[in-house]
Each structure stands twice: as C-alpha cells, then as structure tokens.
Amino acid sequence: MQTSEDTVDVGASAPAATRQLSPDAVPVGTPLEFPIVDDDGTLLFERGAVVIGADEHRFLFQNFKPQRGDLGGEAEGDGTIAAQAAPKTGDTDALTLKEMHLTIGALIGVRSQVGMGAPMHPSRIIGFAPNESLFVTPPLVDGKPMPLSIGENVEIVAIASQAVFRFVCTVDSVCQVPFHYLVLSKPGVVRRLRERKSVRVRASLPLRFSVEAEGTAYESLGLVQSVSAMGMSFSAPWTVGDVGKRIRVAFTLRSKDMDTSIETTATIRNVQPGSKPGDPATHGIEFDRLDQVEQMALKVYVFDRIDDVIFWTSGPK
C-alpha cells in the first residue's frame, strides 16, 4: 500500500513558517531540542527523542507535516484521512435474528437513511422481543441522543461473532421511561458481508513504537494504514522485528465524540519488507491487552468508517 507524499507549505505566513518544520530543521542522530507534532497536534517525537537515520527522516516528511510542538498555533486539518475503498458486494440471505448470533450488549452501528454519507453512530443491543424486534440504546452524536422519529428507517451494521451483517429496521418506539431506549422493528432483508474475525478499515495515523515491549519510551515513528478492534497494519522506515516479536505502540484515535490515546504492547504477526533498499516495511500487529475504554474507542473508530472496510480476515495482518 502506497502513501501519498505530503508537501510542506513553504509559502505560509511568518508564524506558521516558524511552527512548520523544514527537513533541514530536524537533525538526524542527535536528541531533539523540541517536541515534533503533526499538523493536527498529534505527538510524533518527544523532546529529547532521536531521529535515527536518513530513512526515518525521509519517512517523517513523506508521511506527515512536522511542526514544532513547543510553539503556539492552530492545528490544520482533522488529523485523520479515511481512504475510500472499493465497494464490496455481500450475500443476501433469509437470515433470522437468532441466526445472526447477536447478543445482548453487542455494539452496533446505526445511521438514518435520510440523506447520504452519514456516519455510523454507536449503540448497544439491550434486548430482543419474541417477534424479533430489537431494543437498543439511543445512538449518541456529540454526546447527545441521535434524533430519530417513529416510522423512520435506520440502517444497522452489526459485527457479530461469526460475520458482519447490514440490515434496515424501522423505529417503532422512542421510549423515555424507565430510561431512554429505542424499539426497532424486526430486521428487513439481511445482507451478510462475509465471514470474519476482524473487520479492518483504512486509516492514516501517526504511530510511535518501541522495539522494547517493557518501559515507557518510544524511539521511532510509523504510519498506521489499517485498523481493527484487534490490531493494525503500519509502515515503518525499516523492518521493526521478526514475526512473534512483542513491541510497544502508542497512537491516538480521534472522533467527533471522543479522543482516546492508546498505549499498549502488541505482537508482530507478519512483516512485508520494502521492495528495494530504503522502502518502508509493512507490519501487521495484534494488540496484547486493551482496557474497556480503549476497546470501545477502537470499535467506534471502525464503526465510523464501516463503509471503508478493505477486507475481512481470519486473523490480524
């Protein structure tokens, strides 16, 4: 997977030019006198970190827009780039709710069919009726319940234990007592989007990593290319380690509802070296341990970009 190069804007105004870094302003092999952030404020290198060599230096400016993190200034852009994937065709089956193996507490994505291109918003299944109606929590938009009306059709994406499903329900009731919840009709025609263990979506996120799984320091920089609730793929200036090696990673997931910083250890599951010397290497990693907040942030990130699913797989790649 190739990543388009970002070009530093050398024609910016004086304050922005001071904050924006040119390649000559970032030394190689010596501790940095200032932190380096991306244009959305995401930390790339801490003060005192070292850009190890020419490959990492080139990787930094090809994939990010480095700025001094110790100077003021407004961040540009939203920090996330979701590349569009080719649409996938699914199988339409006469599936029942039971056959989808959905469970109480399962996280689902909900969006209104009014308008086009709306993002998925997270909700949870809290019950089932004998007629296969669904009881769900109201999807949240900017921390507030999504406004839905009785009779409105909503599209649902559900990541169940065995497959990903897409279907449409009608809002039958909007209930306030004893708490706020929705009653959705029996699912319409269910589209199975293939068997899966992990759904991946495209991403373009800075990743700090350390080849030492223990500790708190991060000595190098990578670019996340795809994300799932279980792991991710990322490119780095060189091969980080062999399959089975544990590393430490840190990254930030940004959405309208939350910003979540994740620091955890992960295991390398596959490695694809660059085609020629100096080309970045691609790594697939599986997260070791995530707390509930981190798990939720990853699921929300995937649901927000469910239309950008690039493949389903039996394991992290």
Here the CATH number for the domain that contains residue 174 is 2.30.110.10
Do residue 291 and residue 212 come from a single domain? Answer: yes
Report the C-alpha gap between 107 and 259 in whole angstroms. Answer: 19
Residue 287: which residues within 8 A CB-CB, separation 6 or more?
230, 231, 264, 265, 266
**If we measure between CA atoms, which residue out of 11, 29, 30, 31 comes closest to residue 20?**
11
Do residue 179 and residue 210 come from a single domain? Answer: no
Do residue 208 and residue 226 come from a single domain? Answer: yes
Report the C-alpha gap between 290 and 254 in whole angstroms. Answer: 17
Residue 66 located in a structural domain: no
Residue 93 has pLDDT above 60, yes or no: no
Confidence of residue 94 (pLDDT cuts 50, 70, 90): low
Residue 182 located in a structural domain: yes
Do residue 154 and residue 244 come from a single domain? Answer: no
Do residue 174 and residue 202 come from a single domain? Answer: no
Do residue 168 and residue 203 come from a single domain? Answer: no
Report the C-alpha gap between 204 and 226 in whole angstroms. Answer: 7
Cβ–Cβ < 8 Å for 283, 240: yes
Task: Indicate the burial class of 303 (C-beta count within 10 angstroms; 0-12, 13-18, 19 or more).
Answer: buried
Residue 71 located in a structural domain: no
Confidence of residue 255 (pLDDT cuts 50, 70, 90): low
Residues 95-121 have pLDDT tens digits of 777 788 888 888 788 888 765 556 778
Type of residue at 163: A
Here the CATH number for the domain that contains residue 234 is 2.40.10.220
The DSSP annotation for 45-85 comes to E-TT-B--SHHHHHHHHHH---EETTS-----S-S---PPP
Do residue 213 and residue 155 come from a single domain? Answer: no
For 146, the domain range is 95-188
Query: Dihedrals φ, ψ of 141, to 5°?
Result: -125, 115
Type of residue at 277: P
User: Which domain-ending residue is among 188, 209, 235?
Assistant: 188
**If we measure between CA atoms, which residue out of 23, 17, 29, 65 comes closest to residue 44?**
65
Residue 83 has pLDDT above 60, yes or no: no
Do residue 205 and residue 288 come from a single domain? Answer: yes
- Give the length of the chain: 317
Report the C-alpha gap between 9 and 169 in whole angstroms. Answer: 48
Do residue 252 and residue 161 come from a single domain? Answer: no
What are the tokens at 192?
């199975």
pLDDT on residue 117: 54
Confidence of residue 18 (pLDDT cuts 50, 70, 90): low
Residue 140 located in a structural domain: yes
Residue 72 located in a structural domain: no
Cβ–Cβ < 8 Å for 218, 210: yes
Report the C-alpha gap between 107 and 104 in whole angstroms. Answer: 9
Residue 293 located in a structural domain: yes
Report the C-alpha gap between 220 and 234 in whole angstroms. Answer: 12
Report the C-alpha gap between 271 and 266 in whole angstroms. Answer: 14
Cβ–Cβ < 8 Å for 104, 127: yes
Residue 52 located in a structural domain: no
pLDDT on residue 6: 37
User: Which domain-ending residue is among 170, 188, 206?
Assistant: 188
User: Which domain-ending residue is among 139, 168, 188?
Assistant: 188
Do residue 210 and residue 259 come from a single domain? Answer: yes
Count of structural domains, the chain? 2
